[in-house]
Each structure stands twice: as structure tokens, then as C-alpha cells.
Copies of this chain bind each other. A is one copy, B any other.
Amino acid sequence: MVPPIAVGPADRLFMFGGVGLGASLTALEQVTGRPVVWATAQYESYARPGETVIFRVDERVRGNQVSQARVSATTDGREVLNVSAALGQRDLPERGQWTLAPRVPPPEDCRPRQLWEGRHPDDIHGRIEFRIARGAMHGPRRGGGGQSPEDGHVVMWARPNPDVLGPGHMIDTAFVAVVADYVPSGVGPALGRDAGGNSLDNSIRFHRRVETDWLLCDVQIHGVANGFAHGRMHIFAQTGELIATASQSLILRLWD
């Protein structure tokens, strides 16, 4: 585990949950030879810098069209996360998309988010370029651009950051899973304060794979109660085609 896949205070970095899900999905697709339909990662522990994380794939049921599989990621025998997933592809012509992309300005007309001071300069946040299309990211004090929306709704564009990663870095399944782990960034704006959360899980449902230069991320926080928050993110291609829907439950963290 190295800083570019980590988050947290500079002296207490841990592996970003979306990286664990993304690595698991890549491993699952390689082992089964099938695309992920749905996956849920449960986060049990943290992987720290210098530790090695081992991902073990268990394809439990292999049907004609659908595989049921799990991944266990461990470090030093300690389980960091486990993933349940279904993978497959079926040859049916029926298609529909009822979840529509919000109408927002194109990424070049949207403000870049500001990253807060005190983060590790080479953590994962620098590797994703976000542009704020509606609302703010992370809440008032951490910046992120824009106003707190009253409806708990935040929209941003995302792509692999060309300034850090160089040009031509493709948006693949793993990158979608990493971006999907940004649901917590909507909690602060929803509450109107500097707040966020630690993911209990990261669930993702893939609708279609569509090539795109930018992802349009539509975050809705459903609610906050009893010290937990719940929310979802619809992820669209630039054309408005739905690529995936993610959802998460979080341990609420207040930073102000």
C-alpha cells in the first residue's frame, strides 16, 4: 500500500475504499472472464502504507450466464474488506434507462474543486480531477467550490487527472469504482457543515459500459440519523448514458 491509493491525515494514511473495490472488480473480471453486474464491498479494517494487500477470488457458482463470486482482501492474515458480486452478460435485446442525467454545464465551464491543506500531497485525491457542476464537495470549510444545496444533491464531473497521471488514462471499471466511493463528499454540503464519513460499504450496479472522457457523478444524500449517513451516486457518460449506480452507508464524521 502506497500513498497514491490512500486517504486520511498525512500521518495516518489508509487505503481508499474505492481502490479496494476497484482492485476486487478487476480481479473478479479477470478470474471469471465476465463483466461485473453488481458488487458490494464491506470494509472491516484498514490497510496502512507499507502493508501488502492480497486479493483472493472465490467463484462460488458458475452458471451458464451468471457467476456468483466473492473476494477476500487480507493483509497479514487480517481481513481488510470482503466483496460479494455477480458477473455475467445475457443476450437479451430489452433496454431502457429511466434515470436521467442532470442538465449541467460541460466540465470546461465548471469550477475545479480545491483540495484542503494538511492532506498527503500524493494521496488519491490528486489523481482524480473533479469539476463541480452543482452544489459543493465536502462542505463549507474544506472548499470544493459552489454553495451547499438544500436538497442534498451534488453533481460533479470526474476524470483521471491528466496533470498527475499524464494524458490518455482510460476510464475503466476500476476507475468507476474509485469515483463511486466519493458519495461521502455529499454529506457535508447536505448538512451545511464541514462533515463527511467513513464508508461501511461500497455497492455498485453496472448498467452499461460506455466509453467517455469524463464521468458525470450525481450524488444524492438520502438522510443522516443516529450518527450514520446514506446516499447514492448515479454515474453517467458525457452523452448522458447511465454507466453505473453506486450507494453507500457511512459513519458520520464532523470536522468543524
Contacts and interface: CB of A to CB of B under 8 A. Distances in A.
A90 to B, nearest CB: 2
A43 B220 CA distance: 27
B223 A96 contact: yes
B191 A40 contact: no
A222 to B, nearest CB: 4
Contacts of A44: 60-61, 68
Interface stretch (A24-32, A169-177, A246-254): A246-254
Interface in A205-225: 205, 207-208, 220-225
Contact of A40 (B66, B96, B203, B252): B203
A99 B222 contact: yes
A interface majority secondary structure: strand
A42 interface: yes
Interface stretch (A6-14, A15-23, A48-56, A81-89): A81-89
Contact of A95 (B152, B224, B251): B224
A232 B98 CA distance: 12
Contacts of A109: none
A185 interface: no
Nearest to A92: B227
B205 A66 contact: no
A153 B84 contact: no
A38 B251 CA distance: 11
Contacts of A43: 68
A234 B89 CA distance: 28
B42 A84 contact: yes
Interface in A228-256: 228, 230, 232, 234, 242, 245, 247, 249, 251-252, 254
Given A79-B60, A232-B232, A249 B98 contact: no
A205 B222 contact: yes
Interface of A: 37-38, 40, 42-45, 60-61, 65-66, 68, 70, 79, 82, 84, 86, 88-92, 94-99, 151-153, 190-191, 195, 200-201, 203, 205, 207-208, 220-228, 230, 232, 234, 242, 245, 247, 249, 251-252, 254
15 contacts: A40-B42, A44-B68, A65-B227, A66-B251, A90-B226, A94-B227, A94-B252, A95-B224, A96-B190, A97-B224, A98-B220, A99-B222, A99-B223, A203-B247, A205-B247
